[in-house]
Amino acid sequence: MKEIKVGLGTCGISAGGEAVYNEIKQEVESLHLDVEVKETGCMGMCYDEVLVEVVDDAKKYLYAHVDAEKARTIVREHLIEKKPVKDWIVKSNDVIIEDNFLEKQERIVLRNCGVIDPTSIEEYIERNGYDGIQRTLGNYLPLDVIDIMIKSGMRGRGGGGFLTGLKWKFAYEAQGDKKYIICNADEGDPGAFMDRSVLEGDPHAVLEGMMIAAYAIGADEAYIYCRAEYPLAIKRLKLAIQQCHDRGFLGKNIFGTSMNLEIKIKEGAGAFVCGEETALIASIEGKRGVPRIRPPFPAHKGLWGKPTNINNVETFANIPWIILNGHEAYASLGTEKSKGTKVFALAGKIAKSGLAEVPMGMTINEVVFDIGGGIKDGREFKAVQMGGPSGGCIPASMGDLKIDYDEITKTGAIMGSGGMIVLDETTCMVDLAKFFLDFTQNESCGKCTFCRIGTKRMLEILERITMGEGKIEDIDLLEDLAGKIKSSSLCGLGQTAPNPVLTTLKYFRKEYEAHIIDKICPAHNCAALLTYLINENNCTGCTVCAKKCPVDAISGGKKEVHFIDQEACINCGQCYDVCNFNAVVKA
């Protein structure tokens, strides 16, 4: 039977995927075609949504930027007239346009995303789904599983990079009459969507990974802590859990063994601090999501005071593959201290935004240029922000740096959960640091004085600098406050909050000095430091800018060169945005 798959992850839906899916389904039904119409998760190529794949006689044809009208044409020309619409195909057996995006990837976590129907447990099983847990239960003792994980060298993908197997061992050895597994799906970094895409595209892989972990540490109850802003992920998780119950994969005596396991979903309210383990545990318990002092660590005293193991979505999605393919296969990928692959959400000023899974050890330049297609509009590559609000900026001059936990940490940034925001020359690094500090300041739980007050004082300084009111001693003050916040904060949010400021100061100090000393923003981004001028050689006198100006600061008759009254101008930039002739310039 022929198949048509429509990418219906959040990215595909937001691009109009549901309308495309419904149109294809309606066409197939009205024409009485022997074609199965399916939904699938994010294929990774978010920049090409809506994506539609036609599977016809063992050949696959991937169509990009499909809308309802194109969908009708694809059904009629490809399936009825047997003429694939070549102009819209980006990948097939004969046409390979987007091969560069996929060529250097190594898809383990994303092995099923965009391939299977995430609402079908049968399709997951067809691709060796739940073979990993069955092999585990039939062939390994808990310590054998832990040993496999330790030998694989996999480090937790939630940001800390702690050895997964060792973490499991601590929980296994902890004394307790009950133990818990928690999947941390509280993905809160701006620009990050790795966990969301995995949960939407392959929920059963995460559940299977949790089952294996539960067996390894001796847990019979598990929670997935997922933020409520991910409704599609939660919907598909609930369905996957129900399907497992229906088949006896969850509940009592799963897979016909003595193992019992229940998995529940806890919807978080979107507090960034709840990504921290102890705050997350408090939230599940119905308390305010506030971190506590460690030790004791969750492995010894976690959920309701019982031994608890917490890993993130990407970590769990790796587990079944490692069990089925062996720790040697996983350890053969990556670098000496960072094994396997890493999923990155490519966002920002990159040509091809989306989801990419690459072997550890690949360079930043390879990810940005070979996979991501370089910078939009041919602009200059300036930096990448890695690790979100807890991470930092790595300049383009360090583009040959290998992606490795330890190498990234040496720069002052962190690997984090995998967000990679690409920046070009139009990005002001002072303003960027202000953006992330504003985020962490708002998300601080307020428990620590230095995090609560210190980040506020740092934010105020950055605001003054971007307004042209900074003083040269502000730089030393920022560094002094950053050091105190890092050393005095209780949890990872406060300890890492200064990182965006410290890394931009380290690599882009001249931009801070330009704002303070010269009262200019080199990126022409900070409104208070901008002057808008009209280039008389380009001005056609169309009057659009004058009509748009909210304070009537632009004068000039029709078909005459216009002028901006600098005293009246409020630097709103609307004239710049509406000019079609590049006559309005920033200075």
Which strand (E) or helix (H) includes residue 478? helix 473-488
Q: How many CB atoms lie within 10 A of CB 200?
A: 27
Going from the first residue of the chain to its last (587 residues), give the mean pLDDT of each consecutive group of 10, the final group possibly shorter.
Answer: 92 96 95 94 94 90 96 94 92 75 92 96 97 97 98 91 95 96 92 93 98 98 96 97 97 95 95 91 94 92 97 97 97 95 95 95 96 94 93 96 94 89 96 95 89 94 96 96 93 91 97 96 92 93 94 93 93 92 92
What is the SS3 assignment for 170-228? HHHHCCCCCCEEEEEECCCCCCCCHHHHHHHHCHHHHHHHHHHHHHHHCCCEEEEEEEC
Q: How many CB atoms lie within 10 A of CB 486?
A: 18
Q: How far apart are alpha carbons 462 and 398 in whole angstroms?
A: 25
pLDDT value, residue 112: 97
pLDDT value, residue 527: 87
Is the domain covering 341-424 a CATH 3.40.50.2020 domain? no
Q: What are phi and psi of 123, to 5 degrees?
A: -70, -35
The total number of residues shown for the chain amounts to 587
Specify whether the CB–CB gap between 529 and 540 falls below 8 A: no
pLDDT value, residue 311: 96
Q: How many CB atoms lie within 10 A of CB 228?
A: 11
| Tens digit of each residue's pLDDT (9 = 90 or more) over 554-577 | 999 999 999 999 999 998 899 999
Q: How many CB atoms lie within 10 A of CB 137?
A: 18
| Tens digit of each residue's pLDDT (9 = 90 or more) over 449-476 | 989 999 999 999 999 999 999 999 999 9
Q: Where are the alpha helices (DSSP H) in 257-304?
A: 277-284
Fold classification of 121-328 is: Rossmann fold (3.40.50)
Q: Judging by beta carbons within 10 Å of its beta carbon (0-12, 13-18, 19+), is residue 227 exposed, middle or buried?
A: buried
Specify whether the CB–CB gap between 545 and 579 falls below 8 A: yes
DSSP category for residue 61: E
Q: Which residues pair with 586 in a beta bridge?
A: 532
Per DSSP (E only), the strands in 445-583 are: 532-534, 554-555, 563-564
The pTM is what? 0.93
pLDDT value, residue 98: 62
pLDDT value, residue 1: 67
Per DSSP (E only), the strands in 21-69 are: 35-40, 52-56, 59-63
**CATH number of this structure's domain 2-97, picked from the four choices 2.40.10.480, 2.30.40.10, 3.40.50.720, 3.40.30.10:** 3.40.30.10
**CATH number of this structure's domain 429-518, picked from the four choices 3.40.630.30, 3.50.50.60, 3.40.47.10, 1.20.1440.230:** 1.20.1440.230
Question: Could you tell me the sign of the dihedral formed by the alpha carbons of 60, 63, 67, 71, in that order?
Answer: negative
Boundaries of every domain in the chain: 2-97, 121-328, 341-424, 429-518, 531-586
**CATH number of this structure's domain 531-586, picked from the four choices 3.30.1330.40, 3.30.70.20, 3.10.310.30, 3.40.50.2000:** 3.30.70.20
Residue 93 CB partners (closer than 8 Å, separation 6+): 59, 60
